[in-house]
Chain A
Amino acid sequence: TQLLEQSPQFLSIQEGENLTVYCNSSSVFSSLQWYRQEPGEGPVLLVTVVTGGEVKKLKRLTFQFGDARKDSSLHITAAQPGDTGLYLCAGLTSEGGKLIFGQGTELSVKP
């Protein structure tokens, strides 16, 4: 069974701090995705990483896919209160079309 483990589960920081969220698996994924979810809404895609070692940047967010394609990280520089939300990693398993998610990281950025 392919699983995605996210850490930390909760993160409370001050505005301006940096943070990193991790998504790990013992299995290889062809790609991993990161979603952000706000209260009362469905998740929305931030990025998809496909190639081992790939780094993608989205303003203050940096996403990395591990060389072995078993893990990914999300780094936020100078966090702002608007970054508050639930961050989820997701991946398609080898079972053809099965899309699974990690447990999520609840981020709170205080002004």
Chain B
Amino acid sequence: NAGVTQTPKFRVLKTGQSMTLLCAQDMNHEYMYWYRQDPGMGLRLIHYSVGEGTTAKGEVPDGYNVSRLKKQNFLLGLESAAPSQTSVYFCASTPMVLNTEAFFGQGTRLTVV
């Protein structure tokens, strides 16, 4: 089983460039999440989705956009990258059932120079 797959795994961007991170899950999960992880900050929620066609803001949404056109995919966009967006990005998914496990991708390491 593939589980949750993130693409790409590494990327270096110049300030002002744009990019899209792709998260794909094959478990038919309803809920999907994008987090960023910085040293000493744990996982901070950027945006999340509770179903196809829906998105909602998390704790640190500024500078990011998301789309969930298909249930299995959750895209995270950076329209104009800034050095402050240098981070490791994780995608996760869960079924629409309380108290169930969140499954994570392997992460995308993004550096903005």
Structural contact, B40 and A103, CB atoms closer than 8 A: yes
Structural contact, B98 and A30, CB atoms closer than 8 A: yes
Structural contact, B99 and A101, CB atoms closer than 8 A: no
Q: Which residues of A contact B33 (CB under 8 A)?
A: 99
Decide if A82 is an interface residue (CB 8 Å cutoff): no
State which of A31, A96, A99, A102 has its C-beta within 8 Å of the C-beta of B92: A99
Q: Which residue of A lies closest to B31 (CB)?
A: A97
Q: Which residues of B contact A104 (CB under 8 A)?
A: 40-43
B 11-49 binary contact with A (CB < 8 Å = 1; else 0): 000000000000000000001010100001111110010
A 29-43 binary contact with B (CB < 8 Å = 1; else 0): 011010100001111
Q: Which residue of A lies closest to B56 (CB)?
A: A98
State which of B41, B98, B103 has its C-beta within 8 Å of the C-beta of A31: B98
In the complex, A31→B98 CA distance in Å? 9
Decide if A84 is an interface residue (CB 8 Å cutoff): no
Structural contact, A92 and B43, CB atoms closer than 8 A: no
B 60-86 binary contact with A (CB < 8 Å = 1; else 0): 000000000000000000000000000
Q: Which residues of A contact B42 (CB under 8 A)?
A: 6, 88, 101-104
Q: Which residue of A lies closest to B45 (CB)?
A: A100
> B-side interface residues toward A, CB under 8 Å?
4, 31, 33, 35, 40-45, 48, 50, 56, 58-59, 90, 92, 94, 96, 98-107
Q: List 12 A-B contacts (CB under 8 A).
A: A30-B98, A33-B102, A42-B103, A48-B101, A90-B43, A96-B50, A98-B48, A99-B102, A100-B59, A101-B45, A102-B42, A104-B41
